Amino acid sequence: MPTIVFASPKGGAGKSTSAVILATELAAAGAEITIIDADPNKPVARWSRLPGKPQSLRVIDDVTEKTIIRVIDSEAERAAFVVVDLEGTASRMVPYAMSRADLVLIPTRGSVLDAVEAVAAIREVKQQEEAFRLHIPAAVIFTNTSAAIRPRTLSAIEAEFAENGVHVLKTRLHEREAYRALFSFGGTLEALDPANVRNIPAAIENAQAFAREVVGLLRRNRGEVNA
């Protein structure tokens, strides 16, 4: 089943947050999900030890460069979706995971410096396409954006990506207290307590739009392959 890899050479781009948001929303829709936490800091594994992790969501955090391909392949046979959270720095796990990806998602903030790092991640995908002789779909997801303001800088970066043939998700993961709260309280957005966290419904709506777009992109990519 589909493997979605989150990759970025820059720490703080929102990889782990995006991975957990996507995985929990897919689990809420009834799918069996595996998250492979390949980040040495183990943020997803720490989240999974808090209360409220969906029963249909499994987290594996003991992968190595030698085992990651085998683990991805095994989980892809069992789960409806495999989500891989890679570390922010270069390692052999990055190309190995990308070689198994049905989609590489590259989170980036809406700044020029972050966009440069996103381009580096896209370049890495292209290198793995050549090395493994595979087509590896990739897309950029903007994170920590404002729901109310669309800066000119962000629009300019999106336009430059489009001119260079880089797919950018229409959905942007906005700056939300609820997303940070997941790593404090555990569980899912739907289970957060409104007494502790503000504007949960807006965060859920944003997260669901993200999950729908990712699933739609996977389906379109698969159709292109099968066509």
- Quick check: 206 and 227 in contact, CB under 8 A? no
pLDDT digits (tens, 9 = 90+) for 90-105: 678 999 999 999 999 9
Average pLDDT rounded to a whole number, residues 131-142 = 91
Q: Is the pLDDT of residue 226 over 50?
A: no
Domain range for 209: 3-226
Mean pLDDT in the chain? 89
Confidence of residue 222 (pLDDT cuts 50, 70, 90): confident
Confidence of residue 150 (pLDDT cuts 50, 70, 90): low
pLDDT digits (tens, 9 = 90+) for 152-198: 777 778 777 887 788 999 999 999 999 999 999 999 999 999 999 99
What percent of the chain is modeled with pLDDT above 70?
94
| Listed ranges 102-106, 131-135, 145-149; the one with the highest mean pLDDT | 102-106
Query: What's 147's domain CATH number?
Result: 3.40.50.300
- Could you tell me the pTM of the whole model? 0.90
- Quick check: 13 and 7 in contact, CB under 8 A? no
Report the DSSP pairing between strands 57-60 and 138-145.
unpaired
pLDDT reported for residue 199:
95
38-52, 101-115, 153-167: segment of lowest average pLDDT: 153-167
Domains: count for the chain: 1
- Quick check: 34 and 84 in contact, CB under 8 A? no
Q: Is the pLDDT of residue 26 over 90?
A: yes
